[in-house]
Amino acid sequence: MARSVMVTGATSGVGLATALRLAGAGYEVFATARSAEKAEKLDALASERGVALRTVLLDVADPGSCQEAVDRIARQTDGGPWGLVNNAGIPLAGAVEDVDDEAARRLLEVNVLGPARLARLVLPAMRRRGEGRIVNISSLGGRVTAPGMGWYCGGKAALGSLNHALRMEAAPSGVRVVLIHGAGYASAIWERAADDLADLAASGRSPHAEIYRGIEEALRATAQLPGPEPIVRAVHRALTAEHPKACYVVGAKTRLGGAADLLGPYRLTDHLKRVALGIGEPARNRLVEYAARRWCTPW
């Protein structure tokens, strides 16, 4: 019997590519979508690619929707999915003081509480079987924080901490919990984040309007980056490896950028981030500017 995997946020980006890859590899994929319209488009795309998957409606911020989705999958499997890929997420751009409570709560519901809630719902069946995989998709933003992206980066950092605790808690039951950190690929979330910053800058209400322009430009430049295939391969490895790594750090930027942010003095890393985003004093030479733009942003 094929192993079943639930993939959230499967209508675009990493989630879509992951769902299609796993379906092509023989997994029984339950791919989630927020609306019936998106689910229909996902079904049609899967048919075009010659793979079979099942779509499930899900809003990860809604506890009732999460319960209903997991219950539906449980009825079609051995009590629940063998694997869960927590990919669904939203961007949130803006200085800490410019983001209101409602927007911050929405981000935390989707990017932090949603993945934890789904893990809580699927774990009992995994524990009964004595095996299972939970893969949480984070980003370099969970390790590197940039001005104007504090809430997003904070949410990813929180997801990482929860992942590490859950990994240790679930290990005795045979369930493996894996974190994926990645950066350096094109994603629609950065375009949406850039739109948020443009709106904030145009509103005339923010004291940070000037710095938003540099951050917006850097975010829009991500459209020229390659696709998410390296992340998708890491997810596949996390699901298939007999002994998966606790954390897959994907790409040179993720490895070096995360290390630099952890080890470098804040005076230096803060300066490099400002250079990368065109904020304040420019770099004194092109090499510093290149290094900053290449390694010191969380996307």
- 185 catalytic residue (yes or no): no
Question: Could you tell me which residues are beta bridge partners of residue 248?
Answer: 180
Distance separating alpha carbons of residues 192 and 12, to the nearest angstrom: 13
Least Cα distance to 239 among 164, 133, 125, 163 occurs for 133
CB burial of residue 204 (10 Å; 0-12, 13-18, 19+) = exposed
Q: How many CB atoms lie within 10 A of CB 45?
A: 15
Choice among 152, 185, 212, 248 that is catalytic: 152
Is residue 289 within 8 Å of residue 296, measured between CB atoms? no
Q: How many CB atoms lie within 10 A of CB 264?
A: 14
Distance separating alpha carbons of residues 16 and 18, to the nearest angstrom: 5
CB burial of residue 151 (10 Å; 0-12, 13-18, 19+) = buried
Catalytic residues: 152
